[in-house]
Chain A
Amino acid sequence: MIEVKELRRSFGPVVAVDGISFNVEEGEVLGLLGPNGAGKTTAMRILACFLTPDSGTATICGHDILKNPIDVRRSLGYLAENVPAYNEMTVGGFLNFICDVREIRGRNRKETLDRIVPMCSIDSVYHQTIETLSKGYKRRVGLAQALMHDPDVLILDEPTDGLDPNQKHEVRKLIQKMAKSKCIVISTHILEEVEAVCSRTIIIAKGRILVDSTPNDLKEKYKCSLDSVFRKITRTESASVA
């Protein structure tokens, strides 16, 4: 469902994404791991058609990100890292705006809201303006926004950042539940999250893919926890670059 071919993007002299390629199929949850500045967010922004790559391309649900960006955006749900939203709007007003854009109308809209609002536990803040919400609630509103149109592909940049442990657990359960019928890419710094929800993990550093494996295979290969694996791989890379 996602095919990434030789994506490359730089910002001035800094190469953020340096020729990454991978495929993700339906039913897979791919965890993108990497130290800060590894290029995870840039790669996700390119897939969500917010940034254009300098070279290379990707297809999502058969739509090319360069040729059909609007079709790509229709078929994916994207949660950005800092959960941007219109702060002066109420949660309800904001979700209705998303419905307008996504052409969810009439009874379908009511059903969608009835499904999504309790699923993301935002019932209690539905009439509150977004600027008054805590970080965790804002993230849940962002997640609701990404799930409104029941997309086949989900790209979630640090979906559990700022959530309390209960909410983290809920979101992970939600991801696991959706995983069977969707193709999900998440980026995270929380390695226990990778173990909990990801069927596959890619570790990237300095814009390049270092490892593409499953969390279990990695642990078996290195005979240590995922935490240690991550440190070993990314530190070796830093040392070799230095």
Chain B
Amino acid sequence: MNSFKAVFKRELKSYFTTPLAYVFLVIFLFFSGYLTFKQGFYEMRQADMSAFFQNLPLLFVFMVPSTAMRMWAEERKVGSIELLFTLPITITQAVLGKFLAAWLFLAIALALTFPMVITVVYLGDPDVGLIITGYLGSLLMAGGFLAIGCFFSAVSKNQVISFVLSVVACAILVFAGMPTTLNYFSTFLPAGLVSAIETMSFQKHFESIQKGVLKFGDLSYFVLLIVGWIAASSIILDERKAK
């Protein structure tokens, strides 16, 4: 437990001792605001945050892998993985420590979008429950993307390769559930398969949570996704740590 805490603390600190955290936060906050207002936040004449949440999957497809890419690729490239895994730390503790630190960092980034909440509260009378579930869905989605990024970061020593692979994997999971993609698939795939693709994509589950519906199926989708990719990261890391 102490080893886990030590890794978690070190990792979280390391975001803020390098310019990474600040560059990430500035870009994320700028684009999350920009995309919201560009989508016609005022034109909708509705005091809610749907315009903000709708854009997050697209933003996360690029932003989350950029946080995750250094997680293991850097450790392996610099060789500090040899230090880490000759200290009394298990692979699971190290993977979880790093993952949760990165997830907390993304939670901080999401929390810093609070001016959006203040804006809609000032402009009207929004449904607070909807805002809370929207943030919960976003956090779960960030966790899912991060777990995928963590896996690809363990796959390659090269951060650029890890980044590209995670962006592609996350994009597939987001875009597979878009109505246009599903329409295209339905022209040549049986309905059952199209529905399976939709169920496996991020979009359906994220939209459902964002609408304020907390279904067991949606929550377990994200939990399973995170646990699965984290477990895969641990296995691949054990396999490749010394290569």
Contact = CB atoms under 8 A, between A and B. Distances in A.
Interface of A: 45, 48-51, 70-71, 73-74, 78, 80, 82, 84-89, 93, 97-98, 100-103, 145
Given A48-B86, A98-B87, A100-B2, 16 more contacts: A50-B85, A50-B86, A50-B241, A70-B89, A73-B87, A74-B88, A82-B82, A84-B83, A85-B83, A86-B14, A88-B14, A88-B18, A89-B10, A97-B9, A101-B7, A101-B87
B181 interface: no
Nearest to A48: B86
B17 interface: yes
A84 B79 contact: yes
A48 B79 CA distance: 15
B87 A102 contact: yes
Contacts, number: 67
A80 B83 CA distance: 7
15 contacts: A48-B86, A80-B79, A80-B83, A82-B79, A84-B79, A84-B82, A84-B83, A86-B80, A87-B80, A88-B18, A89-B10, A97-B10, A100-B2, A100-B9, A102-B88
Given A88-B18, A89-B17, A101 B89 contact: yes
Which 8 A-B pairs have CB atoms at the shortest separation, nearest pair first? Answer: A100-B6, A84-B79, A48-B86, A84-B80, A84-B83, A73-B88, A101-B6, A78-B86
B78 interface: yes
B5 interface: yes
Contacts of A78: 86
Contact of B86 (A73, A82, A89): A73
Instruction: Name which of B5, B78, B82, B90 has the most chain A CB atoms within 10 A of its CB.
Output: B82
A59 B88 CA distance: 16
A45 B86 CA distance: 8
Interface string B3-19: 10111011001100110
B86 A80 contact: yes
A143 to B, nearest CB: 13
Contacts of B10: 86, 89, 97, 100
Instruction: Name which of B13, B80, B87 has the most chain A CB atoms within 10 A of its CB.
Output: B87
Nearest to A98: B87
